């Protein structure tokens, strides 16, 4: 009996010792399997990821940075697109030369879908800002082969571009479904940071549906902590199955390098844009004709509702599809085409991606009651705004501006699509000290015309490297230049 008890105790002790060892071994094996999964993705994806080098004429702006250099086009300590290294011969703009040239670099990937339209050509997806100023585009494959590329189509508002090379039999990447991405899901970024080809980094989806960042006109970013750096622009963000879920586009950075926050355009948006670029060479967007703003807790309370999701209509343009459908100032759009509206950015994107002439249903909250309205979406043109968001802020100089809608242009005696209107000036700011006031219309930044809020902010960021800007301001019937320096 005693021997049996001793045996039982010894067996129990042995099991207690063995369990942690088994747990450790199980954990190590799990890590091995995870590593093998990442390696498998790298092997299947990397052959279709390309290095893009572009050559462009650099504008001679004295001390200002040249295109595709380290700080162009967004000299901003918050968000940076990825352009790679400046042209050889030192920092751009500091050495005067005849007919300056600039060399930029980025990433891209050969792609395919089940659509026959895509399968007949060797097409590469990348960012618009990688190729928009290029005179010459050169694509280098991982196997060392190089090809000249031509632009099939590009869209500055979403920062998506499609280029083509004359080659056949190349590996291509399948496109996934970004709507199924979940926060915490593994994602893998592959590209050419700092010219280091086929660099792979791993992270997770930190957030989805990021809007209102001021990076692009139409935003719906995937946020990730996968390490991405200058040169990654246009490269794929893929899931653990090796399917592309986004295009790496921008980072949050105070140093110009990786700080744990990167942004990718979701592939579902990219697909819609790419289809139009391939078919027509440009993008046609839907138009509603409203000015919208976020539904803050205070605004929600003032309108007598509890929910904070949706888009508050602050203004309806006369003669617009919204006006014809009976939409009113103060309406809160909570659903579009049967799907809940998360915020103004989400609503604006979906309207813009709707084919003109389509009839859609909007679910509204008006005077505390739900109401369904049917609207025929119009066609967006240069002097219209799909669904105008809130004013955008230029923090460097201390003011906020908004695109001139037809209603605002009529009110201030201006032309829609020509200039931006100042909506707010921070007390004590550079703009305030220069005498700029709300209601002023800014027509040019550094002698470059600005036709919407995004162009204005981009021009400010480009010029702020010199700590000097020249604005052409309109006040009533008078125009004058104002120089800002800091």
Chain centre to alpha carbon of residue 275: 18
Collapsing DSSP states into helix, strand and coil, what is residue 350? helix
| 159 annotated active-site | yes
Q: What is the spatial distance between Cα 150 and Cα 125, in angstroms, rounded to a whole number?
A: 12
Marked catalytic residue, from 81, 129, 206, 317 = 129
328 within 8 A of 259, measured Cβ to Cβ: no
| DSSP element (H, E) containing 247 | strand 244-252
Closest CA to 445 of 424, 427, 420: 420
Task: Look at the chain and count its residues.
Answer: 486
Chain centre to alpha carbon of residue 341: 19
| 129 annotated active-site | yes
Peptide bond into 252 cis (omega under 30): no
386 within 8 A of 351, measured Cβ to Cβ: yes
Chain centre to alpha carbon of residue 319: 31
83 within 8 A of 71, measured Cβ to Cβ: no
H helices present in 332-439, as ranges: 344-352, 406-411, 430-433
Marked catalytic residue, from 197, 233, 317, 464 = 233
Closest CA to 400 of 434, 431, 358, 428: 431
Marked catalytic residue, from 76, 133, 155, 159 = 159
| 217 annotated active-site | no
CB-based contacts of 401: which residues, under 8 Å, 6+ apart? 391, 392, 394, 420, 421, 422, 423, 442, 453, 456, 457
352 within 8 A of 273, measured Cβ to Cβ: no
Residues marked active site are found at 129, 159, 233
């Amino acid at each position: 009996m005693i021997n049996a008890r001793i045996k039982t105790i010894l067996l129990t002790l042995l099991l207690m010792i063995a369990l942690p060892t088994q747990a450790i071994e199980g954990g190590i094996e799990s890590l091995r399997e995870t590593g093998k999964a990442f390696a498998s993705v790298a092997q299947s994806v990397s052959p279709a990821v390309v290095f893009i080098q572009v050559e462009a004429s650099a504008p001679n702006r004295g001390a200002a940075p040249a295109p595709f250099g380290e700080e162009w086009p967004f000299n901003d300590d918050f968000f940076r697109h990825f352009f790679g290294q400046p042209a050889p011969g030192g920092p751009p703009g500091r050495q005067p030369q005849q007919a300056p040239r600039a060399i930029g670099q980025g990433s891209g990937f050969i792609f395919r879908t089940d659509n026959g339209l895509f399968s007949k050509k060797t097409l590469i997806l990348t960012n618009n800002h990688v190729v928009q100023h290029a005179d010459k585009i050169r694509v280098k494959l991982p196997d060392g082969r190089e090809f000249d590329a031509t632009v099939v189509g590009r869209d500055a508002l979403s920062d998506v571009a499609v280029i083509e090379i004359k080659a056949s039999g190349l590996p291509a990447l399948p496109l996934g479904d970004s709507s199924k991405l979940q926060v915490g899901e593994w994602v893998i970024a592959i590209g050419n940071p700092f010219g280091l080809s086929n660099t792979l980094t791993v992270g997770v989806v930190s957030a989805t549906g990021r809007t209102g960042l001021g990076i692009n006109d139409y935003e719906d970013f995937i946020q990730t902590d996968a390490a991405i750096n200058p040169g990654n622009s246009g490269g794929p963000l893929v899931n653990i199955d090796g399917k592309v879920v986004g295009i790496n586009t921008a980072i949050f950075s105070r140093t110009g390098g990786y700080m744990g926050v990167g942004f990718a355009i979701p592939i579902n948006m990219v697909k819609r844009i790419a289809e139009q670029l391939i078919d027509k060479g440009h993008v046609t967007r839907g138009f509603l004709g409203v000015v919208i703003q976020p539904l803050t807790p205070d605004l929600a309370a003032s309108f007598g509702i509890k929910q904070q999701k949706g888009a508050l209509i602050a203004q309806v343009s006369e003669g617009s599809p919204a006006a014809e459908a009976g939409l009113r100032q103060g309406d809160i759009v909570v659903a579009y085409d049967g799907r809940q509206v998360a915020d103004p950015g989400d609503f604006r994107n979906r309207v813009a991606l709707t084919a003109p002439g389509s009839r859609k249903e909007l679910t509204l909250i008006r005077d505390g009651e739900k109401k369904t309205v049917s609207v025929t979406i119009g066609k967006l043109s240069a002097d219209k705004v799909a669904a105008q968001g809130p004013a955008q802020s230029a923090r460097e100089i201390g003011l906020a501006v908004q695109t001139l809608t037809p209603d605002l242009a009529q009110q201030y005696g201006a032309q829609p699509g020509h200039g931006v209107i100042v909506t707010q000036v921070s007390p004590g700011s550079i703009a305030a000290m220069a005498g700029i006031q709300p209601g002023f219309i800014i027509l040019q930044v550094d002698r470059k015309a600005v036709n919407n809020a995004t162009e204005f902010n981009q021009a400010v960021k480009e010029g702020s490297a010199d700590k000097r800007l020249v604005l052409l301001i309109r006040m009533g019937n008078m125009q004058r230049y104002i120089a800002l320096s800091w």
